[in-house]
Amino acid sequence: MRYLRALIGIMARELFRFVHQRERFVSALVRPLMWLFIFAAGFRSTLGVAIIPPYETYILYEVYITPGLLGMVQLFNGMQSSLSMVYDREMGSMKTLLVSPLPRWYLLVSKLLAGVLVSVLQAYTFLAIAYAYGIEAPPIGYLDVLPALVLSGLMLGALGLLLSSFVKQLENFAGVMNFVIFPMFFLSTALYPLWKIQESSEFLYTLSSYNPFSQAVELIRFALYGQFNLAACIYTGVSLLAFLLFAIIGYNPSRGMMQHKGRPTA
């Protein structure tokens, strides 16, 4: 019961924070909506993209980047959740929770699940706005994409937790985010298909292929259109396990980065 109460409490707190901090909700949607309404307008043309293998489907650019922008919503939410983790670890609720009898790995997983809950709500809100804008997916796709959003949200949230274990002060997190978010986003298939990147540079193509965010975007893209990308699912799942493992080690005061900061939390 203690484990269950802790999980419910952490998830409820994150959800209430999300509801009351409306500027966080708006800011999470402003970025992808600007890309959808403004950036895509400059590229309004058809692209030959194999969205539904093995058929070559010519689609509007707005339709192509919508799954990528869903990934963008989750990427920024994962980083914002980690930013709040840095604050909570120093002077908020997590400072108290981390010294509780509950295992740290369980507290971190609970925090991760809470962040995913918020990111999924944001993603479906974005899909609703895109639908009103005239960008529609197959009806079954809105249900099929849910597991993909959960898995990709867990992976990106785990990456954020890992980064937060390295950050000593809240002020330093913005710099870390800039060195992670923008390279991950632009070196991915969120905006352009892999074959288009390969035409430009083989090196960038290789980086984009091994980018975990690219695999998360492809998982979402295929799921939204009723397909299952096994390779992207495995890659995303393995990345999730790796990021979460290193985050748990990083938050262990006896072995991880918390030990080297001189400010252990337990």
Mean pLDDT of 92-120: 79
Q: What is the pLDDT of residues 176-214, one digit of tens each?
A: 767 888 888 889 988 888 888 888 889 999 999 999 999
What is the pTM (predicted TM-score) of this model? 0.84
Give the pLDDT confidence score for residue 146 in this predicted structure: 96
Mean pLDDT of 101-113: 84
Q: Domain residue spans in the chain?
A: 2-260
- How many residues in total does the chain contain? 266
Please tell me the distance from the alpha carbon of residue 131 to that of residue 157, in angstroms, as a whole number.
26
Mean pLDDT of 44-67: 64
Residue environment code for 160-188, b if the CB has 16+ CB neighbours within 10 A, otherwise e: bbbbbbbbeeeeebeebbeebbeebbebb
